[in-house]
Amino acid sequence: MNKKNIIYGTIFLAVIILLSFIGFKFYHHFQNAKIIARIEEINLDGIEKQVVEKINHLMEEVKKHPGSAENWGRLGMNLYIHNFKQEAEPVFKKSVSLNKQDFRWSYFYAITLDDLGAGEALGWFERSQQLKSDYPPLGIKLGNRYLMNGEPDKAKPQFAKITESERKVPHAHLGLAKIAIQAEDLGEARLQLQKALQLAPEYREAHALLADVYRRTGEITKAEEEFNLMEKLPVRLDLADPVYNEMEAEGVSSFWCQVRANNYLNAGLLDEAELELKKAVEAKPNAVSYTSLGYVYQRKQQYDQAIEQYEIALKLDSNYVNALNNLAVIHFEAGRKDEAIQLVEQTLKIDPESIDSYLNLGTFLKLLGRRAEAIEAFKQGWKLAPDDIRFPYQLSWLLASSPEAKLRDGKEALRLVEMISSPSQINNPSYLDLLAAVLAETKQYQQAYDTAGRAYVLALLQKKQDLAVEIEARQKLYKANKPYRIK
């Protein structure tokens, strides 16, 4: 080959490489533009301003830095969490293509595909596990998916691996129990369900399956006990998923502010809840968000601020029962008892089936010494909400400890207190305090004394000093073979 041909060949190869590079860049530019165009076609009418602004900002970041997996991923997270899942799917796919080693993008892509009912979701969950093999939420998802597909042999290692680790995950034992039931190994199923319930006594699904195991083995009484217990428990037991929580944290809509506020409230983090609810009020000023903010102030004993929020809520919706009920509680605690009862009665005219209204009315009447009326109010509320244990709890107290003999009914009080018993009550000093009072009313003084002792210790351990003082006073009565009477 002569020198001239070598030069031409080199030039030709360089041109081919250059054209391939240009084609590659053009293809990706075209694909990026196509994804962005699809997002820009979303109808954002009626979407909260801060959501629109954040999505638009993230799209601009993607346009500036199209090679950033992080930018594409954050855009996908925000689309997904604000209910634009169809649009999130190609965005997550893009982030995966840019960084195949980041577990988040593969995992979020799999979750999105799963939500959209796409068959390839399973493959992406499996691919995600190759990146993070020891993540229990993913193992549970995979195990459950294999079970749904009729592949217990693939599901079993997923669940077993989690139970063998140091992590305590009741969902894994439940999965193994399901596999054992399919194989008709009821002894193994029972063992796994008992392990699940040791970790999570309020795991409704585990109680339901255990009831079925007892039924199959002919232990009908135990089956009925499990079924009755199951009826009192929450429908779901969610498994903590810290990686997915990162996506939830991206939510800026009033809905997600409310969700985070509720989580903070449940954890007793009132300042954090207040901050989130202020965002919710700013994003979507309505009676619900103002009432929620008022409740935070009420919990913080900042009553003037609470009243202000409730009044704003009632200007927006004069018939908003939650605001009226919360306002009634503040009035009652401030000594404005007639006004409080009038407000609760007003709520019952607006909504005759308001559970909280009957609970508040009964409580107010009980504290005013109008115990017969209180009993009727609690009974009315219980008829409307037979699964709400707050009503039998209040009724048990009145039936066991009212000063008026005609109102007391120890046997019925004992029936009610046993009915609301659940595994979680073992460590609940308020429940044990009630149980002790009921036992004393039925002349089981030694048991009442012992139960009150456990309640007292738990109250101290849980730093409920005022309750501990009250329990201690009642325990002295039981030691002297005397029942407790409401003063």
Do residues 441 and 477 make contact, with C-beta atoms less than 8 angstroms apart?
A: no
Residue 107 burial (C-beta neighbours within 10 Å; 0-12, 13-18, 19+): buried
- Residue 345 belongs to some domain of the structure: no
Kindly report, residue by residue over 29-85, the tens digit of the pLDDT.
546 667 777 776 777 778 899 999 999 999 899 999 999 999 999 999 999 999 999
Contacts 24+ apart (CB under 8 A), 446-449: 448/478, 449/475, 449/478, 449/479
Kindly report which listed range (10-24, 388-402, 432-446) carries the lowest average pLDDT score.
10-24
Averaged confidence pLDDT in the chain: 91
Residue 192 located in a structural domain: yes
Asked if residue 212 is part of any domain, the answer here is yes
Asked if residues 448 and 440 have their Cβ atoms less than 8 Å apart, the reply is yes
Q: What is the mean pLDDT of residues 177-186?
A: 96
In this model, does residue 396 exceed pLDDT 80?
yes
pLDDT at 20 over 60: no
CATH of the domain at 169: 1.25.40.10
pLDDT recorded at residue 27 = 42
Q: Read out DSSP for 38-71?
A: HHHTS--TTS-HHHHHHHHHHHHHHHH-TT-HHH
What does the alpha-carbon distance between residue 262 and residue 36 come to, in Å, rounded to a whole number?
34
Q: In the predicted model, what is the mean pLDDT of residues 285-312?
A: 96
pTM of this prediction? 0.77
Q: How confident is the model at residue 19 (pLDDT cuts 50, 70, 90)?
A: very low
CA angle centred on 56, ends 50 and 61, rounded to 5°: 125
Which pLDDT does position 204 carry in this prediction? 92
- Asked whether residue 34 falls in the same domain as residue 138, the answer is no
Residue 289 domain flag: no
179 pLDDT tier (thresholds 50, 70, 90): very high
Instruction: Please report where in the chains the tokens 């232990």 appear, as a residue.
Output: 219
Q: Residue 371 region, left (φ>0) first, then alpha (ψ -120 to 50), else beta?
A: alpha
Final residue belonging to a domain, choices 224, 251, 278: 251
Closest CA to 400 of 410, 391, 390: 410
- Per-residue pLDDT, 387: 87
pLDDT band at 3 (very low <50, low <70, confident <90, very high): low
pLDDT in tens, 406-459: 999 999 999 999 988 877 788 899 999 999 999 999 999 999 999 999 999 999
Q: What is the pLDDT of residue 190?
A: 96
CA atoms within 13 A on the CB side of 70: 2
Residue environment code for 324-340, b if the CB has 16+ CB neighbours within 10 A, otherwise e: bbbbbbbbbeeeeeeeb
What confidence category does residue 111 fall into, taking pLDDT thresholds of 50, 70 and 90? very high
pLDDT at 4: 60
**Residue 26's pLDDT band (cuts 50, 70, 90):** very low
| DSSP SS3 for 204 | helix
User: Is 76 or 167 the better-scoring residue by pLDDT?
Assistant: 76
Write down the pLDDT at residue 122. Answer: 95
Q: Which of 251, 280, 308 is the last residue of a domain?
A: 251
- At 487 the pLDDT is 85
Cα separation of 114 and 141, whole Å? 10
Within-domain flag for 128: no
Please give the share of the chain, as a percent, with pLDDT higher than 70. 92
25 pLDDT band (50/70/90 cuts)? very low
Instruction: Tell me the average pLDDT across 179-187.
Output: 96
What pLDDT is stored for residue 475 in this prediction?
Answer: 96
- Residue 392 pLDDT > 90, yes or no? yes
What per-residue confidence (pLDDT) applies to 15?
Answer: 52
**Residue 236 pLDDT level (bands cut at 50, 70, 90):** confident
Q: Which of the pair, 108 or 225, is modelled with greater confidence? A: 108
Q: Which two tokens stand for residue 401?
A: 């400890």
What is the model's pLDDT at position 23?
45
- The 10 Å Cβ neighbour count of residue 127 is 16
pLDDT of residue 2: 60
Q: Does residue 147 belong to any structural domain of this protein? A: yes
Confidence of residue 246 (pLDDT cuts 50, 70, 90): very high
Report d(CA 248, CA 242) in Å as an integer: 10
Domain count, the chain: 3
d(CA 257, CA 275): 9
Q: Give the domain range for residue 470.
A: 389-487
Q: For residue 422, what pLDDT is reported?
A: 79
Half-sphere exposure of 194 toward its Cβ, with a 13 Å CA cutoff? 8
Comparing 229 with 70, the larger pLDDT belongs to: 70
Residue 200 DSSP code: -
- pLDDT at res. 216: 94
| Domain end position, chosen among 207, 223, 251 | 251
Residue 354: inside a domain: no
The per-residue pLDDT for 424 is 75
Domain assignment present for residue 150? The answer is: yes
> Which among 416, 417, 462 is positioned nearest to 436, based on CA atoms?
417
